[in-house]
A and B are shown apart, each in its own frame.
Chain A
Amino acid sequence: MLLVFKSVIRDYDTPSGTTLSRNLTAYLSHQIDYLVTARPLSVSMGNAIRWLKREISIINIDTSDTVAKRELQSLIDTFIKEKIEASGQVIVQSAAQNINDGDVLLTFARSEVVKQTFVEAHSQGKQFRVIVVDSRPLHEGKKLVSELASEGIKCTYILINALSYVMSDVTTVFLGAHAMFANGLLYSRVGSALVATSAKSRNIPVLVLCESIKFSDRVQFDAVTLNELSSPDALLNISINSNSRNDTLSPALRDWRDVANLNILNVLYDLTPAEAIKKIVSEVGNLPPSSVPVILREYKSDYNA
């Protein structure tokens, strides 16, 4: 998204009678609105947009457009490097320290930092096994498990229903995040909460790998109030492959729209309670979930300075 904004800014010309710092934000808003029509903004996107707008607004009015545009573009570049790429690497380095020889690690769905953490620990010569838990209808874990296996990591692949069968072997759970809310709750791929609470009840530590750009000042109690709905038709395909090439439609649901009282609910995310999370590994350090608002505050004062 930021790369797109960069090119938008490059192609942008300030209309006469106004200044870049005033008008560009409004100009970008249209692009953002367009993005929102495609999918609700993710927390990290929202944070990035807020940052960009702030950067635009603090540009000196006297700066010429070309200079300002060049400056903004380089700012975006550093933002991507710092907040996304570098922070990911920091997290990977620090999270890999939590992996020991003989560990059985468990992860749910697919997260890029989690994958890189496993790959990093493996390249450090650590001996461990990974259980990848997956769920319908996205089957994201399948991609992760084949990536890990091709790196030579010992993997086990299960579906979420089999979780309680394997849980007793697990030493640590690694989860990726979509967002961390200010009340310490993890907003992540639906099913993460099941994995985390199930681990918690067996006293297995749950680590969340999350860049601080994903920290949100939103507070929420349960996953029902605000969530992203996905297409109900995604559940009609009962084949194990999520690609449409070999779809098998569920015979009972062919005409589900005609059956009164029958609905399909396919949400994308759920909320993991803060108690179930042992620690959050972020680029600003290892934190307990209760420290999310602290980090948010630190960053705000950063921006205001």
Chain B
Amino acid sequence: MSDLTLKTLTHHHKSDKDIFFQIDTFISQLKRRQITGSNDVGMATAHLLVRFVSAARWTHIDSLISDLRLLGKRLIAAQPREFACGNMVRRVLALIREEIHGNNENGIDNKGLSSSSPLITSMFNLLSTEDKSIETANNEKKTGRDLKPYIIEGIQELIEEIRNIEDSIAGMSVEMIHENEVLLTPSPNSKTVLEFLRRASQKRKFSVLVTESFPNETEIAHAFAKKLAKAGIETVIIPDSSVYAVMSRVGKVIVGARTVLANGGCISASGIALACEAAKNHKTPVLAVTGVYKLSPLYPFDVESLIEVGNTGKVVDFSDKDMVENVEVMNPTYDYVAPENIDIYVTNIGGYSPSFIYRLVLDHYSSEDNKL
């Protein structure tokens, strides 16, 4: 499969062997988990896409689109649960389609509506087969070669967006946190949460409860708590089990997300779903802080397929013979948080309720790319 893909791609990239080397390196890095976390993966994918597009030579913009789709497919296959690569590819595809669309519209405007391809707006449009050929014919007129700088510029903007994500989200923190509030965060692995809290601490005085997220991120959690304390925030480390016990004192729960799904739910580190549920039981608001690049157009029809199950050696010592032999041990690394357990998504483009996420998805992706 991957050979076939490569061959198809080579067709359009005869002169540039270098880019394939980079793609393969990235894919193996993904597979070996040398690059993980949506931020790093998103960034790396975006950089790869810049190189890919600049190396690409196309006679027709459709071939670039199909190349990109193939690339996206390969990246997703390499690590199906790193949603950021798929998201980035889709963003770029949407960008290209928008450019084409814009161009076409201009074309039509120039020619007036008397051109050979009338705007069909009736229901027949959905069923007719010749419609596609009209569109392709239209595209053929614009080979899209002149689009290259626009596309690359678009991807550069994406990279800039990811780079500044913490900044733009953290800017909203002061509006969200009030003086002397007690916050709880079950996602100590999130850079965005850290920045959010740090920024808020410049203007507000509050305390933060940090859960340990045992066993996968305990060390990170401890280090996270220390960073907060060093930033002058009153910080308390609590075991994951005491989330409910302290929830009655908590003003807001702040979580990070790995991926935000189109239904408004999200995939996060394990333990977060439980904390959000406890928060819901106490009617405590839950803020999910996330960059728009983490939005995924997927729906969680099969939650289990989205969750990764990790190393059970972190739960039970492999030297514990009786346990290893007789007991089934599980260690899921992610959690699915249902949309009803999240109150607001704080993103770099503003705050949104989970029920509005599908709209943002429509804004940022083109629906024909949902399945690459």
Binding site for B on A (CB under 8 A): 135-137, 142, 145-146, 149-150, 154-166, 189-191, 193-194, 197-198, 201, 221-224, 227, 235, 238, 240-241, 250-253, 256, 259-267, 269-271, 273
Per-residue CB contact flags for chain B residues 219-231 toward chain A (1 = under 8 Å, else 0) read 1001101101110
18 contacting pairs across A/B (C-beta < 8 A): A136-B212, A145-B327, A155-B326, A160-B271, A161-B270, A165-B332, A194-B244, A201-B281, A222-B249, A223-B244, A224-B248, A227-B245, A240-B314, A251-B219, A253-B226, A259-B226, A264-B236, A273-B281
Q: How many residues of B contact A (CB 8 A)?
A: 55
* Residue B114 at the chain A interface, CB threshold 8 Å: no
CA distance A29 to B323 in the complex (A): 44
B237 x A161 contact (CB < 8 A): no
Residues in B whose Cβ lies below 8 Å from that of A264: 236-238
Given contacts A159-B331, A197-B277, A235-B212, A265 and B242 within 8 Å (CB-CB): yes
A262 x B326 contact (CB < 8 A): no
Residues in B whose Cβ lies below 8 Å from that of A273: 281
Contact of B327 among A149, A161, A240 (CB under 8 A): A149
Residues in B whose Cβ lies below 8 Å from that of A145: 323, 327
Given contacts A227-B245, A240-B215, A163 and B235 within 8 Å (CB-CB): no
A223 x B245 contact (CB < 8 A): yes
A191 x B242 contact (CB < 8 A): yes
Residues in A whose Cβ lies below 8 Å from that of B332: 162, 165
Report whether over half of chain A's contact residues are helix, strand or loop; otherwise say mixed. Answer: mixed
Most buried by A among B271, B327, B336: B327
A250 x B238 contact (CB < 8 A): no
* Residue B96 at the chain A interface, CB threshold 8 Å: no
Q: How far is the CB of A245 from chain B (nearest CB, A)?
A: 11
A262 x B235 contact (CB < 8 A): yes
Contact of B241 among A136, A150, A227 (CB under 8 A): A136
Contacts between the two chains (Cβ within 8 Å), count: 185
* Residue B352 at the chain A interface, CB threshold 8 Å: no
Given contacts A136-B214, A166-B330, A250 and B240 within 8 Å (CB-CB): no
Residues in B whose Cβ lies below 8 Å from that of A223: 244-246, 248
Residues in A whose Cβ lies below 8 Å from that of B230: 259, 261
Given contacts A157-B328, A158-B315, A262-B229, A135 and B222 within 8 Å (CB-CB): no
Contact of A238 among B219, B238, B242, B244 (CB under 8 A): B219
CA distance A6 to B271 in the complex (A): 46
Most buried by B among A155, A158, A256, A262: A262
* Residue B239 at the chain A interface, CB threshold 8 Å: yes
* Residue B273 at the chain A interface, CB threshold 8 Å: yes
From 197 to 222 in chain B, residues with beta carbon under 8 angstroms from any chain A beta carbon are 209, 212-216, 218-219, 222
From 129 to 150 in chain B, residues with beta carbon under 8 angstroms from any chain A beta carbon are none
Q: How far is the CB of A232 from chain B (nearest CB, A)?
A: 8
* Residue B99 at the chain A interface, CB threshold 8 Å: no
Residues in B whose Cβ lies below 8 Å from that of A160: 240-241, 271, 274
B335 x A164 contact (CB < 8 A): yes
CA distance A271 to B209 in the complex (A): 19
Residues in B whose Cβ lies below 8 Å from that of A263: 234-237
Instruction: Using CB atoms, name the residue of chain A closest to B280.
Output: A201
Residues in A whose Cβ lies below 8 Å from that of B349: none
A261 x B232 contact (CB < 8 A): yes
Residues in A whose Cβ lies below 8 Å from that of B229: 259-262
